[in-house]
Structures are given as C-alpha cells and as structure tokens.
Structure 1
Amino acid sequence: MKAEETRADAAPGTPGAAPEGAEIGLGLQSDKRPGDYARLARAAERHGFDVLSVFGDLMYQPPLYPLLEMAAATERVRLGAACLNPYSMAPYEIAGQIAALDLASEGRAYLGLARGTWLGAVGIAQPRPLTVLAETAEVVYRLLGGDDGGYEGEAHRLEAGTRLRYAVHRPRPPLLLGTWGPKGAALAGRIADEVKVGGSANPAMVPVIRDRIRVGAEAAGRDPGEVGVVLGAVTVVDTDGAAARTRARTEVAMYLAVVAELDPTAEIPADLLTRVRDLVAAGEDRAAGELIPDDVLDLFAFSGTPEQVAAQAQELIDAGARRVEFGTPHGLDDDRGVHLLGTAVLPLLTRSPPTSAP
C-alpha cells in the first residue's frame, strides 16, 4: 500500500487524516449475548467515544457478529476488529468481512491485522509473520480495490482475473497493525495508518513505538507522523477504586507474562513473572493477581477511580498517543464501567497533547 494512496483515501477524522486530537476508544471482548453489543455501543456513542473495537481472541465469538450489531446501532463511531488473524483466516475472507462491516457502517470500518498468539493450541503455526501481514494487507486491498491483475507473493497469491463478486463501500479502509516489536512497527511505518500496542497503559512505550515506526516510514518515503500510536489495555473503573484495582489485577495476571517481556522500558523481576505464570497455569488467576504490585499494574491496565483512570489516559495522550483504548471489562460490570468511563473519565481528559509531544 502506497503512502500517498492511504492519505488520499482517508476521510477527515480517520487515522489517515491529520488528527484534531486524541481519540478515545472502547475495546470489547466478544463474549456477550445478542443485544448487549448494541446497548453498549449506543451508550458509548452517546457518551462521546470515537472508536469501538472488538477483540479477535482465540475461542471467542468471531468479531464480525458484534461489529455488525454495533454498526446498526450507531451513526458516528468508527468500528473494527483488533485484530483479525491472517493465519486463521484467508485474505479473501478478511476482505469480505471488512467489506461487510464498511458497507453496514457506511464507511466507518477499519481493518485490524495482527500475528496473534496462542494459536499453537489449535495446531496453527505462524511462520514469517512480517511477510504474512504485509501480503495479507496487499491482497485485501487489491480485492477491495477491484485490481484483478493477479498477485504472486511468498505467502499469498491471486490468479489473474480473480475479483470480488459484490460491491464494496471503500477500496481502502484504514489499516491498523497490532504489534509490540521493532520489525512489526517498522512494517506499520511502511503500510499502516495505526499501530496498536495491546495490553499496555505505559506512556514510556509511546516514544519507543514512534522510533520504531520512523524506521519503516522513512524507508517508504512517508511522514512518520501519519501513523498513529494506539495503546489499549484491561480497564476497570469504579467509585470503589480498591475493588476496581483488585479486579484489574486478576485480569492482568492472565497476560502479564506475555506482554511484560515485550516492554523494553519495564523492569519487572523475572521471579515475579514466573510465579504469576505458574499460578495462572494452575487456574489461580486471583492469587496470581495479588502478586502484582501497584507500579506494575499501572503499566498494563487502567484501573481505579475515574480520576485515577483519567490520569493514566492523560499521560498517554500527553506522550503523543493518537488513541487510548479502554479494554474489557471496563468496570465491575460492563454497563457501569462504560457509564463511568463516559460520564466521569472522558470529561476529565484534554484531547490535545502538549506541543512538545513527539
């Protein structure tokens, strides 16, 4: 995907256009019942959220179903899966899903792709992730754009004459890549509109990812500032801040050992990660969470009172994040969490970062 094409197809307020201020999003797990997604989406839009994402985690509902329900219930918010996995889904299927969402939402969809993890549990290997991600995006956009000239890559191919047999709303919905690593962020600098660092609430990661984006962007002749940095993590907000942080500890314990090793700015004792990992493997998530100290918790979750959560989000905005995404479970229950985020957290945020931000 060429940088100039990405810019040309971006509408105002989308990641490809110059942002007026940081966006605030909600990330939802796809574990709910019919009607729940529409109710939460209407509340989020009413409260002023900008983006609704649905996780594409292994063994949960496919994200397209919640996203279509939310698209029908909203008029303004952007929508996307964060993220679809190119190892478990063929590019033509990904093209079909993003086309369906973009059509249903009248041009509010974004395309999220990530290498993913834990696929060994279902016997799927993940070789050459950079190649697979890059070629998947290439094939998806060729299909959406009506290019039937054929494509021959290392991982994917399109025979000449192959094209979608249905109408699409846009040829190039914005692309988000989910990644922590330097090579993935450099790839995003070449081809993407956003990079999402999932499982992080650490403002020190923003300049790290910016530097990694810059490598790929400059090699591709792009302005690194065109690529937005998104940080999102488990969020638990409540007027009972202690209860919220206790719940967040349990949620974070399930992924701490994975993401902590990806954060070069975090100094976490190896023995702590080992103990947390062992307890989680034994099904003792709450006991594992109790081991996580406050300073570590704040690197990998938004939690506490509305004032505490707002302060964490503001640090990310001030560091230069283009979007902050509050992830599930949002609160001690979803509805109360979304309500507090919308009515007590969002009003405390200043969306524009300081002029000195990267």
Structure 2
Amino acid sequence: MTAVEIGLGLQSDKRAGDYARLARSAEEHGFDVLTVFGDLMYQPPIFPLLEMAAATERVRLGVACLNPYSLAPYEIAGQIAALDLASRGRAYLGLARGTWLGAVGIEQHRPLTTMAEAAEVVYRLLRGDAEGYAGKVFRLAPGTALRYPVHRSDPPLLLGAWGARGAALAGRIADEIKVGGSANPAMVAVIRERLRPGAEAAGRAPGEVGIVLGAVTVVDTDGGAARSRARAEVAMYLAVVAELDPTVDIPADLLARVKELIDAGRHEAAGRLIPDDLLDLFAFAGTPDQVAERAQALIDAGVRRVEFGTPHGLSDRRGVELLGSAVLPALRREPAAVSGGRA
C-alpha cells in the first residue's frame, strides 16, 4: 500500500527568502510535498519553487496547477525540466484548465482536448521524441526537440479536476488528481468512481491514480480565532466549489447572501454565515486536534495526499510551525499496541 503523503500548499505572494525559510521548516518537520499554487495574477510559481528546491533535500515539489491556455506546452516542459534539475528529481507537474482567465481575455475552448494534448506534448518533449505531433489544438513539427538536457523524462503528472470528464482523463493519463478547495471525505469515493472509466480504458486500476484533497487551512491554539479566519477565506470560493460537490446540498439563499457580501468586500460578515458543519467540508480549521481530526477523516476515506493550503494559520509562519509540530505527529502516530498478546 502506498503511504499517505502530507503536503503544504503555498500561495505565491511572498518575498524572496520567505519561501526558502518556510520550505526548510516544512522539511525539518517531516512534510512530504510542497506545492505552489498557479493562481491568476500572483507570482509565477517557478520562482518560489526554484527557491524552495535550493533550500531542501527531500520533499517533492510542484505547481498546482499550470494551465495550457496561458502557458504553451513547450514552456511548461521547460519549467518542469528546470525544477526537476534544480531539485535533483523531486519535481511533479500539475496541469489544470485554469480559472478566471476571462479577466485577462483568454477563452478556454475544448478544455479536455487541450489538457490531454498539452500533457502529450510536454512528455514528448521531455522524452526527446522528435517525430512530430499533430493534435487538434497543439502541434509539434517533425524534428522539434528541446535543446537542453533534462533530469527525468517522466516526472509525475497531477491533473486538477472535480468533474466526471476531467477525472476520467486523470484516470487515463495522470499519476494523481487534485480536488482543490475540498476537505470532504465523501468526495473521495465520488472521485474514485469518476476516475474509473478512464483508468479502465487505459488498462489501469482506478487505485493507481492517487487522490489529493486540499483546502484552506487555519490552525491555532485559539481554535475560535482560527475558524473565524477560515470562514472568511472559504466564503470567497464557497459558491464555486459548492456547485462542484454532489454530496453537499447548500441552500441557494445562503450561497446568494454569501456571494452578495463577498462582492461588497465584507468577507468576515460573509464568513459568519457559514455553519460549522459546512466549514469542515471546505477547510481544515481550528485547534491542532481539530485539524488533525479532519485530515484523518480524509486519510481513512482513502486519499493518497492531504494538502494543507494557505494561509495555514493566523500567520503563515505560526501555522506551518503548528502543522508540523502538532498536526503532523498526530497523523503519523502509530496505533497503540493491544496488551495481552494473542488469545
């Protein structure tokens, strides 16, 4: 059985040097994976990832996710090759269709074809395959090849997706699928079934594709303050992810009121409308014990990786410290031995 990984997801909004410090702290505490988000209008994730690669020796590193609408596949291949070289083979590649690209005038036609072909082009380039490729969206002329050496030709591929067709694509071509913005254990079985058609078409078992769930995380010894901060964070994307989760039925008037307050810039007021049970489906929030309990529920449901997302705590530094010193040990604690031996 593949061991469950525990990771940290970082927003690319920090100063030079901050990423290295957080990465060293995370590795020292025993985290397995460090992810940088590829969100619109934040720093390009390759900058923090290269800084973290230089500061660490063990953790896997990757972006969740790059999108092939704003970054051409040959550029994606170059970035993953650079990260894999800098980290000496610890990189993974995250791809997704991207969100909010309309704000910069980018339309997202044929998303499944675009994603599948982008992955095909990236890995052809990394493998040194110069035979050419003629897809419906992307093309490589015969003889087109990278003009620099790569560390690995096959760094792991993660696809970001919630829906049935995106999950089926992940089942066919990916090593992992990430469901971003969810801490809901019920989604694990949903995603596993959505993976199945693609996995079986490719001659794979659905269990070969690791499921990653990640969400806003706020941990503090002051659990009430942590949950209040998490509510305000979750309110900003609740309307989007609520529509994607078929296991949750949220009153339409609640979503409308939350959106209205968010649009007015009243994030804390919007967060106060989110009840505790709903918060726990879309965030890891509260004391270290509360956060560990929610993460353990995902592990019990069958995820391969739990990803604790930004802002981590009331401050990033304090949050990472508590996740590493209090939450991570609770998740990795061995079950107590049964006294008395065998009957």
Distance in structure 2 (CA, Å) of the matches to 1:234 and 1:322:
18
TM-score by length of 1: 0.92
Moved segments of 4+, more than 2 Å: 350-353
Aligned to 2:136: 154
- Is residue 218 of structure 2 the alignment partner of residue 250 of structure 1? no
Q: Aligned-pair distance for 1:214?
A: 1.0
Distance in structure 2 (CA, Å) of the matches to 1:296 and 1:119:
28
Aligned to 2:24: 42
Whether the aligned pair in 2 keeps the contact of 1:113 and 1:176 (CA below 8 Å) is yes
Whether the aligned pair in 2 keeps the contact of 1:317 and 1:351 (CA below 8 Å) is no
Q: Aligned-pair distance for 1:277?
A: 1.1
Distance in structure 2 (CA, Å) of the matches to 1:214 and 1:192:
12
The one-letter amino acid paired with 2:59 is: V
- Is residue 74 of structure 2 the alignment partner of residue 108 of structure 1? no
* Superposition map of 1:25-64 within 5 A: 25-64=7-46
Q: SS where residue 54 of structure 1 aligns? A: strand
* Superposition map of 1:64-213 within 5 A: 64-213=46-195
2:326 paired residue among 339, 344, 356: 344
Distance in structure 2 (CA, Å) of the matches to 1:319 and 1:351:
18
Moved more, 343-352 or 321-330: 343-352
* Superposition map of 1:255-334 within 5 A: 255-334=237-316
Distance in structure 2 (CA, Å) of the matches to 1:58 and 1:254:
15
Greater gyration radius: 2
The one-letter amino acid paired with 2:243 is: E
Whether the aligned pair in 2 keeps the contact of 1:22 and 1:352 (CA below 8 Å) is no
Q: SS where residue 126 of structure 1 aligns? A: coil
1:107-143, Cα deviation, whole Å (9 max, x unpaired): 0000000011111111100011100000000000000
The one-letter amino acid paired with 2:88 is: E
Whether the aligned pair in 2 keeps the contact of 1:115 and 1:129 (CA below 8 Å) is yes
Distance in structure 2 (CA, Å) of the matches to 1:131 and 1:281:
33
Structure 2, unpaired ranges of 5+: 336-343
Percent identity (aligned): 79
Distance in structure 2 (CA, Å) of the matches to 1:288 and 1:118:
21
Distance in structure 2 (CA, Å) of the matches to 1:192 and 1:216:
10
Aligned to 1:335: 317
Q: Aligned-pair distance for 1:350?
A: 4.2
1:61-110, Cα deviation, whole Å (9 max, x unpaired): 00000000000000000000000011110000000000000000000000
Moved more, 35-44 or 218-227: 218-227
Distance in structure 2 (CA, Å) of the matches to 1:329 and 1:302:
11
User: How many residues align structurally?
Assistant: 335
* Superposition map of 1:19-30 within 5 A: 19=2, 21-30=3-12
Q: Aligned-pair distance for 1:352?
A: 9.4
Distance in structure 2 (CA, Å) of the matches to 1:63 and 1:325:
17
Q: SS where residue 231 of structure 2 aligns? A: helix
1:157-182, Cα deviation, whole Å (9 max, x unpaired): 00000000111000010000000000
Structure 1, unpaired ranges of 5+: 1-17, 354-358
Distance in structure 2 (CA, Å) of the matches to 1:344 and 1:241:
14
Instruction: Flag the 1:118–1:215 CA change in 2: closer, same or farther, 3 A.
Output: same
Distance in structure 2 (CA, Å) of the matches to 1:86 and 1:277:
29
The one-letter amino acid paired with 1:224 is: P
Aligned to 1:12: none
